[in-house]
Amino acid sequence: MIDLKHLSIAYGETSVVKDVTLHVPEGGSFALVGESGSGKSTILKAIAGQITNWTGRIRLGEHDLQHGRDPALIRLCQMVFQDPFGSLHPRKTVDTILSEPLSIHGIGDQNQRVLETLDAVGLARKFRFRLPHQLSGGQRQRVAIARALMLDPPVMLLDEPTSALDVSVQAEVLNLLKTLREERGLTYFLVTHDLPVVSFLCDNLGILRQGELVELATVDQLKQQQFSSDYGNELLSKSF
């Protein structure tokens, strides 16, 4: 479902992603891990079409990404951002936030779709006409997940979706994401530095260091703490 081949990205003279090749099967859940500044979020933004100065190949399903925003591909792939407060418009109600993607893409039956999606993310319908500041952090992230689901995309990009939440709420959001993937057959591409989150949510992972993919591994290898690269084992020592 996601196919990156020889992906490279530079900002001016600075190379931030260097010749990355990886594949995520349909219905799979893949994590890209590494320290801050390793290029993880840059790759995510390239897949989402937010960065266009890349070379190589990015393929979603049967579609090759071009260097720009393709409306058809937007419906294939949606993102959940790290900060649920910053990613939601402060002056728009939950109803408007969820209805907007439908209006942009000319999709009808908006009322029913909004209600069904609120139910799907476990958010009570009484929150439908509230503003983001009237919700808790966990509730805001549920709205962000609901917005990403409105177009029924087969691919979800997750940019550290629980790192801005209280510890008590993180498990609820992770359980929700896991359930949604199982129920809808979603493909996840997760960016994080939190290896325990990877072990819970993902099947496979790639380890990124200074823009280079140094290792591809399974979650079984992560749980057994048996990475093959020195840098992977260094990350393990910091996480467990």
Amino acid at 213: L
Per-residue pLDDT, 165: 83
Decide if 107 contacts 116 (C-beta within 8 A): no
Q: Which of 135, 152, 169 is the last residue of a domain?
A: 152
Phi/psi of residue 10, nearest 5 degrees: -135, 145
Dihedral (CA of 183, 187, 192, 195) sign: positive
Half-sphere CA count of 146, side-chain side, radius 13 A: 29
Check whether residue 239 and residue 163 sit in a common domain. yes
Q: Are residues 95 and 8 in the same domain?
A: no
Cα-based angle 176, 181, 182 (whole degrees, multiple of 5): 100
Main-chain phi, psi angles of 190, to 5 degrees: -105, 135
Same domain, 71 and 171: yes
Q: What percent of the chain has pLDDT over 70?
A: 99
Kindly state whether residues 158 and 148 are assigned to the same domain. Answer: no
- Does the pLDDT of residue 240 top 70, yes or no? no
pLDDT for 43 equals 95
Task: Identify whether residues 163 and 240 lie together within a single domain.
Answer: yes
Domain with residue 51: its CATH number is 3.40.50.300
Q: How confident is the model at residue 40 (pLDDT cuts 50, 70, 90)?
A: very high
92 shares a domain with 50: no
Q: Are residue 162 and residue 226 in the same domain, yes or no?
A: yes
Least confident among 90-94, 188-192, 227-231: 227-231
Domain final residue pick, 92, 121, 152: 152
33, 43, 131 from 6: Cα distances, Å: 18, 12, 43
Could you read off the pLDDT of 63-120 as tens digits, one per residue? 898 876 777 778 889 999 888 788 899 999 999 999 999 998 888 899 999 999 999 9
- pLDDT tens per residue across span 121-170: 999 999 999 999 999 989 999 999 999 999 999 999 999 988 878 888 99
Segments forming the whole domain that contains residue 220: 1-76+154-240
Q: What is the mean pLDDT of the chain?
A: 91
pLDDT band at 7 (very low <50, low <70, confident <90, very high): very high
Last residue of a domain, one of 152, 170, 187: 152
Overall domain count for the chain = 2
The angle, 0 to 180 degrees and rounded to 10, between the axes of the packed helices 137-149 and 94-104 is 20
